[in-house]
Homo-oligomer: A and B are copies of this chain.
Amino acid sequence: MPHNDFRHSLAQQLRVDSVRASDAGGSGHPTSSMSAADLMAVLLDGYLKLDYAHPDNPANDHLVFSKGHASPLYYAMLKAVGAVGDDELLSFRSFGSRLEGHPTPRIPPTDVATGSLGQGLPVGVGLALAGKRLDGLPYRVWVLCGDSEMAEGSIWEAFQHAGWAGLDNLTAIIDVNRLGQTRETMLGWDVDGYVARCEAFGWKAIPVDGHDLDDIDAALSQAVSVTDRPSVIIARTCKGRGVAAVENQPGKHGKPLEDPAGAVSELGGNHSVSVQVKTPAPGTPRRFATVGGSLPRWEIGEEIATRQAYGEALTELGGLRGDVVVLDGEVSNSTMSALFAKAHPERYFEMFIAEQQMVAAAVGLQARGWVPFVSTFGAFLTRAHDFIRMAAVSRADLRLCGSHAGVSIGEDGPSQMALEDVSMFRSIHGSTVLHPSDANQTAALVAEMATLPGISYVRTLRGRTPVRTSPEENIRVGGSRVLFNSDDDDLTIVACGITVGEAEKAAEVLDAEGVRARVIDCYSIKPIDRPTLVDAAAQTRAVLTVEDHWLEGGLGDAVLDALAECADRPPVRKLAVTEMPVSGKPGELLHAAHIDAEAIVEAARQLVKA
């Protein structure tokens, strides 16, 4: 069979299986699959080097479907390479199937979940960075993008970073089928417009007729030969290609075909077409030597910012573990990841002010087995919320550090204050949320984060705090630290981060008044130390939480949750930030927000009197 005959058969069968899977599932995006079938057929037959029988082969190429809604095509490809059978293909979107509505890592060799548009390409940048800078392997990263998602800024963060980094092991394929969900895209079939944009960002752009097999072959061949920069194939295609009833028709997005049997027939019928994908040359990823080191320790009473402790601990961790890598959003001298960058420059990634690309790159790096720590101001991690959410769907192990928590940063004002970060991270599936109050706590928790599955977050402070915790103390995820307690405590004060010092001061004032306060430093907000809180609630007459965060979703809500099922718990009052802060000195702002020692004392008096 001449080469193109086979590729045509393969492409048609990918379309047939896209139609069949969507029909079986009762929903899905067959037309968005059909436009890219020719592109994927040629990719499978000749260019992709992926050992589907051994998805963990470290030399494998990576294929990311950034247009995750083209999952029927993706699964049809898995069938063509023998990774799934026809029965499983037809389980598409049914409960229990590995073939979900949008791809997830539940079906190998899928690296990451897609389906929120504009994320696959930035993750691909992370995979390509791993290949170039860490693994030292010649694998290629292929990313299939839709044209609608070219409107997402995150796509251009990826273009910018990959161009800057010269990632010639990255090839994007844009399926320019012109039609979005409700209308024509901004650029329609303006292939030249895409070429100009991509070239301006430093990529080699290759326009192509996405249904001409020779043209596609030439484009892929050219793409893999580009050196010093990433390549992008801009393919003019027709949505629904191959079935007249839907081809290039508006209103045919995201639904099964009305006449699937007729469509299969029009496509040439349902056949068994299998393709032998190339396997990569064997290769072993580079690993960095562990050069040793020991976690930093500070003496009780030293004054040091937890962000400084983060940087120092991370640097030592880098010596102890060769798999730790660090990314920062061009604020490394604020988050203090700059210390790691100086000690381990080969494992530091400057991601500039592009938080979405930063998190996506980390997701890509962890998919290759690395242990990324990501840092910027906590406030700016909100920029990457959708990426962090999707990282959880990707079952990614990711460590994030948000510095400059709360009003305690002072003069910079509310735009720079993380006041919603704890809420955001608590509601990420499977997350861990930590907010140490001193340097020794920070070091212990940062070290533990390296071993945690899922998304973990540590929140650090701009200003210095006194070291209260001995370096010998058992600080751990899920733990807490009781500063003061007695058998006849009147009330419990639960604090974290900057408010621990305020609670400590308040307890001293209250003690002078004959009111005994138990003070709990709740440095682990999720999981939270429920037994300690439940005991405290049972043993005191009121619980007061105090945090430098909005009233909603933070420490106070976490404490309420821990005590939810206690029938006889005493009243709980939450002190938190409730008015929009302004600029000022840290102490002025803590006072204005009613989360300083004075506010704690006043609330405690009311609660105990009640």
Q: Which A residues have a C-beta under 8 Å from some C-beta of B?
A: 25-28, 68, 93-97, 99-102, 104, 106, 113-118, 148-149, 151-157, 160-161, 164, 180-183, 185-186, 193, 196-197, 199-202, 330-334, 338, 350, 352-354, 356-357, 379-380, 382-383, 385-386, 389-390, 392-393, 395, 411-416, 419-420, 423-424, 426-430, 526, 550-554, 556-558, 560-561, 564-568, 570-574, 580, 582-585, 588-589, 592
Pair A331/B182 contact, Cβ less than 8 Å:
yes
CA distance A114 to B567 in the complex (A): 46
Pair A411/B102 contact, Cβ less than 8 Å:
no
Pair A383/B380 contact, Cβ less than 8 Å:
no
The answer to whether residues A389 and B393 also contact, given A102-B415, A350-B183, A413-B104 and a CB cut-off of 8 A, is no
CA distance A571 to B180 in the complex (A): 49
CB-contact partner of A149 in B117, B155, B185, B353, under 8 A: B353
**Closest CB of chain B to A477's CB: distance in Å?**
16
User: Which B residues are CB-close (under 8 A) to A567?
Assistant: 570-571
CA distance A380 to B420 in the complex (A): 18
User: Which B residues are CB-close (under 8 A) to A199?
Assistant: 196, 200
CB-contact partner of A582 in B95, B164, B383, under 8 A: B95
Q: A164-B186, A180-B330 known; 20 other A-B pairs, CB under 8 Å?
A: A93-B411, A93-B413, A95-B592, A97-B582, A100-B583, A102-B413, A102-B415, A104-B413, A104-B414, A148-B353, A183-B330, A193-B202, A379-B386, A382-B386, A383-B386, A420-B424, A420-B428, A424-B427, A565-B573, A567-B571
Pair A393/B429 contact, Cβ less than 8 Å:
no
Pair B152/A583 contact, Cβ less than 8 Å:
no
CB-contact partner of A561 in B25, B152, B552, under 8 A: B552
CB-contact partner of A151 in B28, B114, B352, under 8 A: B352
Pair A153/B356 contact, Cβ less than 8 Å:
yes
The answer to whether residues A429 and B580 also contact, given A153-B157, A574-B564 and a CB cut-off of 8 A, is yes
Pair A118/B152 contact, Cβ less than 8 Å:
no
Which chain B residue lies CB-closest to A412? B101
Pair A393/B420 contact, Cβ less than 8 Å:
no
**Closest CB of chain B to A141's CB: distance in Å?**
19
CB-contact partner of A116 in B28, B379, B592, under 8 A: B379
The answer to whether residues A116 and B572 also contact, given A186-B352, A338-B182, A420-B427 and a CB cut-off of 8 A, is no
CB-contact partner of A413 in B26, B101, B419, B580, under 8 A: B101
CA distance A354 to B160 in the complex (A): 17
CB-contact partner of A200 in B97, B197, B395, B557, under 8 A: B197
The 3 closest A-B pairs by CB, nearest first: A153-B153, A115-B415, A95-B584
